[in-house]
């Protein structure tokens, strides 16, 4: 067999592996802890090892150094020049820790409505904006956030009564992609996640949710989203946020998540894969997380798709309260939210930035993340 | 030693470019070209015993004057090796610009200048200032765009922006030319101390009321006129050709920028805005300001890493509000 034939055979093997993964590597059953290591190696890690070996075998061409496709230098080849260079990074704004912030006396009703801890978080967010302007490069306004935060904080405490765990899995610094399930007609799951992350990280971190482009066409909504730190989901925006070392919150189900009917609740829809590509290119971990409760906040009985198409909307829902109660019918039910953060998945330590160009690898990794999120949901429902 | 020709040197950014290059010891001579008489601020340059600045009045949109310029004895004696093209942007730009041979004046100027730079034996480099409003904007209050982002080739784009796109594509076509080094600087809204604003499709020109889309307040990336001049200076001395985004550190919403620059805005719902745009077109005012278009709804900021890496350009000016002598708060730019 010639060398090129051998490479071709390895490509074939990889495809077979991806198309039909062995049953022994399926991982824990639904409902068990996907991140525990009860016996032996982590099944996800073992599965990735197999995939990585196959991928490397398939992708490395004769004469091409292994380090060119791996992020870490291969054994015996520690030449720094052979490693792919990370993209040029902007310096992330350095936020003070909560202990470093000295608050002035409360001024006005807004300051009195929230506690000192929240005021410190909001004060820290002002450090996200560089330069003389009151906005950052994505339109985020700490002042607008300061005004909006008490309202959503009240919903966080009083309406959704959010309970959360796994905050140790949120990286203290540097870029990361938070991947969550998405449900509910209005994106309160995103709002609650942003508040939960802000309240449970020190220095406080602002999760920048990637929102659908459709939201950018909505008058007033697009401005509000941008001012409170949300960003329209273009490739350049995403890459730039990660390269700046920001925490990016994505919903890979997209609008399919909010279209879920009551029969599909807590069942994840197909994941888009762009977040995997960006995470590999920007060399950042992925933190799977689950929001329990959002699927119950506005159960969709039917989605009248022809009407949605006619009106140019992503969904035309029928719920127990909408459209019967008018716009009030869209308000979420007072369900209890539970937010759980899983252990970070460090795909970037196994695969180089070139892995982002391998469609099968990216799809496989996206499915792994989807599985991790689904397991978190199932364990915590 | 570079010997540089600067176009539209009688307008604000051109003046600033001439001043910056004048204080650059690596520039031997500046051949300033403008429509009008030489600015008064050039008096000290022009009256020096051995002047490093020469000024000529040329209508760059007409073929004959431009040809005469490039074949003149003054031009030959100056031994120009670099041409800096700063398109028309000052007070004159707010007037109704005539079409030249069926194309916008800005496009005609750029085409003629490029053609003569390619033919002139001594000219090695062309540094042109373009607009970042050429990018196709996705829905959203702000988009990050880099040099590889898609241009807005929609035939319905406002004529003001269309002329920038035409200039951009003319220059883009020669970026890989072996004979001439072409550098295109895509700049966002340019502001200057005192609340002046240039190269913005809506806010540029005379002060007064502007319309904007209700429910939208797009982020506008800003750069000071002094930073534009510094970027031009970096591009003059750079070695390679290319297209570069250059921008300052600040970005503010359109409504705030209008307030900072002493202009008021009237938010109009989409249908009314389209009606106003149609009315302006009917009245022949379409080139004065772009009354409707994506730039009124969707904003952008620029990824400037390529310029930082290859030109060594970093903005030095901060842009903010300061209290002027009359007590009013106005936009100011100052070095950090």
- In chain B, the domains with their CATH numbers are 2-188+222-249+301-335 (3.40.50.720)
Tell which residue, A290, A251, A249, A252, has the closest CA to residue A165: A290
Contacts of A131 in chain B (CB under 8 A): 248-250, 318-319
Q: What is the pLDDT of residues B4-30, one digit of tens each?
A: 999 999 999 999 999 999 999 999 999
Q: What is the pLDDT of residues B166-206, one digit of tens each?
A: 999 999 999 999 999 999 999 999 999 888 899 988 888 76
Q: Quick check: A236 and B145 CB within 8 A?
A: yes
CB contact at 8 A, B34 and B14 = yes
Residue A7 has pLDDT above 50, yes or no: no
Q: What is the pLDDT of residues A217-244, one digit of tens each?
A: 999 999 999 999 999 988 889 999 999 8
pLDDT tier for residue A49 given thresholds of 50, 70 and 90: low
How much of chain B, in percent, has pLDDT values that exceed 90? 58
Q: Which residue has the tokens 């933190």?
A: A287
Region of A31 on the Ramachandran plot (φ > 0 left; ψ -120 to 50 alpha; else beta) = left
Q: Which residue has the tokens 């796109």?
A: B165
Q: What ipTM does the predicted assembly reach? A: 0.85
CB contact at 8 A, B58 and B66 = yes
Alpha carbon distance B113, A64 (integer Å)? 47
Collapsed DSSP state (helix, strand, coil) of residue B210: strand
Residue B318 touches chain A, beta carbons under 8 Å = yes
Mean per-residue pLDDT over chain B, rounded: 88
Q: Quick check: A232 and B319 CB within 8 A?
A: no
Mean per-residue pLDDT over chain A, rounded: 80
How much of chain A, in percent, has pLDDT values that exceed 90? 56
Which residues touch A338 (CB under 8 Å, ≥6 apart)?
A162, A163, A164, A291, A292, A293, A380
pLDDT of res. A12: 35
pLDDT of res. A20: 41
Residue B238 touches chain A, beta carbons under 8 Å = no
Burial of B324 (0-12, 13-18, 19+ CB in 10 A): middle
Q: Where are the domains of chain A?
A: 1-17+40-62, 109-297+332-380
Q: Which of B140, B214, B270 sits opposite A222 (nearest CB)?
A: B140
Residue A131 has pLDDT above 90, yes or no: no
pLDDT of res. B138: 87
Q: What is the pLDDT of residues B245-283, one digit of tens each?
A: 999 988 999 999 998 888 888 898 888 888 877 777 777
User: Which of A132, A219, A248 is most worth mutating to test chain B (most B CB atoms within 10 A of its CB)?
Assistant: A132
Beta strands A286-292 and A176-179, pairing class: parallel
Fold assignment, A109-297+332-380: Glycerol-3-phosphate (1)-acyltransferase (3.40.1130)
Which residues touch B40 (CB under 8 Å, ≥6 apart)?
none
Q: How far is B247 from chain A (nearest CA, A)?
A: 11
Measured from the Cβ of residue B244, the count of other Cβ atoms closer than 10 Å reads 25
Alpha carbon distance A214, A221 (integer Å)? 11
pLDDT of res. A273: 96
For the segment B111-120, the average pLDDT, to the nearest whole number, is 94
Task: Please report which helix (H) or strand (E) contains residue A85, including its range.
Answer: none
Both structure tokens of A128:
């996200």
pLDDT tier for residue B101 given thresholds of 50, 70 and 90: low
Tell me which chain A residue has its CA closest to the CA of residue B301.
Answer: A137
Q: Which of A133, A215, A234 sits opposite B252 (nearest CB)?
A: A133
Contacts of B214 in chain A (CB under 8 A): 219
């Amino acid at each position: 067999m010639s060398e090129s034939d051998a490479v071709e055979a390895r490509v074939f093997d990889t495809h077979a592996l991806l198309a039909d993964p062995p049953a022994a590597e399926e991982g824990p059953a639904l409902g068990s802890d996907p991140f525990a290591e009860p016996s032996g190696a982590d099944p996800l890690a073992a599965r990735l090892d197999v995939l990585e070996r196959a991928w490397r075998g398939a992708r490395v061409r004769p004469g091409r150094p292994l380090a060119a496709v791996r992020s870490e230098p291969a054994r015996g080849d520690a030449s720094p020049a052979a490693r792919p260079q990370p993209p040029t990074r902007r310096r992330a704004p350095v936020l003070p820790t909560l202990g470093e912030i000295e608050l002035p006396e409360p001024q006005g009703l807004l300051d009195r409505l929230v506690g000192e801890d929240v005021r410190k978080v909001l004060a820290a967010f002002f450090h996200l904006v560089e330069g003389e302007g009151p906005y950052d490069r994505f339109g985020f306004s700490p002042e607008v956030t300061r005004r909006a935060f008490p309202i959503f904080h009240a919903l966080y405490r009083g309406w959704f009564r959010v309970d959360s765990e796994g905050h140790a899995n949120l990286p203290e610094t540097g870029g990361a992609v938070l991947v969550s399930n998405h449900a509910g007609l209005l994106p309160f799951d995103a709002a609650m996640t942003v508040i939960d992350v802000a309240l449970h990280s020190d220095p406080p971190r602002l999760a920048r949710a990637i929102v659908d482009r459709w939201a950018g066409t909505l008058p007033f909504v697009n401005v509000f989203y941008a001012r409170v730190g949300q960003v329209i989901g273009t490739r350049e925006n995403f890459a730039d946020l990660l390269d700046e070392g920001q925490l990016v919150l994505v919903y890979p189900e997209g609008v399919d998540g909010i279209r879920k009917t009551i029969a599909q609740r807590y069942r994840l829809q197909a994941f888009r894969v762009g977040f995997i590509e960006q995470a590999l290119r920007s060399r950042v971990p992925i933190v799977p997380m689950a929001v329990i409760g959002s699927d119950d906040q506005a159960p969709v009985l039917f989605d009248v798709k022809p009407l949605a198409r006619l009106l140019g909307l992503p969904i035309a829902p029928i719920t127990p309260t909408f459209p019967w109660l008018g716009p009030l019918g869209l308000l979420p039910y007072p369900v209890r939210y539970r937010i759980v953060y899983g252990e970070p998945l460090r795909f970037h330590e196994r695969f180089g930035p070139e892995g982002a160009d391998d469609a099968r690898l990216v799809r496989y990794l996206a499915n792994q993340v989807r599985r991790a999120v689904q397991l978190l949901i199932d364990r915590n429902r | 030693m570079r010997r540089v020709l600067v176009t539209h040197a009688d307008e604000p950014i051109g003046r600033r470019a001439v001043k910056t290059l004048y204080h650059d010891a690596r520039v031997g001579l500046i051949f300033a070209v403008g429509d009008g008489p030489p600015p008064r601020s050039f008096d000290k340059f022009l009256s020096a015993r051995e002047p490093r600045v020469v000024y000529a009045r040329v209508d760059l949109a007409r073929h004959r004057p431009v040809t005469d310029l490039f074949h003149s004895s003054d031009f030959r004696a100056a031994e120009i090796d670099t041409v800096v093209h700063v398109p028309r942007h000052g007070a004159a730009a707010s007037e109704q610009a005539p079409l030249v041979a069926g194309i916008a004046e800005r496009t005609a100027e750029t085409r003629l200048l490029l053609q003569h730079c390619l033919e002139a034996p001594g000219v090695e480099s062309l540094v042109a200032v373009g607009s970042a409003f050429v990018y196709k904007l996705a829905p959203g209050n702000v988009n990050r765009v880099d040099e590889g982002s898609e241009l807005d080739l929609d035939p319905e784009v406002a004529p003001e922006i269309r002329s920038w796109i035409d200039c951009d594509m003319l220059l883009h076509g020669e970026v890989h030319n072996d004979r001439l080094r072409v550098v295109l600087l895509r700049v966002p809204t340019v502001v200057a101390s005192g609340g002046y604003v240039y190269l913005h499709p809506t806010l540029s020109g005379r002060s007064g009321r502007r319309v904007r889309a209700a429910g939208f307040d797009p982020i506008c990336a800003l750069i000071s006129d002094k930073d534009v001049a510094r970027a031009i200076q970096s591009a003059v001395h750079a070695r390679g050709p290319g297209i570069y985004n250059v921008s300052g550190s600040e970005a503010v919403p359109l409504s705030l920028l209008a307030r900072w620059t002493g202009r008021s805005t009237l938010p109009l719902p989409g249908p009314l805005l389209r009606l106003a745009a149609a009315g302006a077109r009917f009245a022949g005012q379409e080139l004065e300001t772009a009354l409707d278009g994506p730039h009124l709804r969707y904003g952008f900021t620029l990824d400037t890493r390529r310029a930082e890496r290859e030109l060594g350009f970093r903005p030095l000016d901060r842009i903010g509000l300061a209290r002027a002598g009359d007590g009013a708060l106005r936009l100011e730019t100052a070095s950090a």
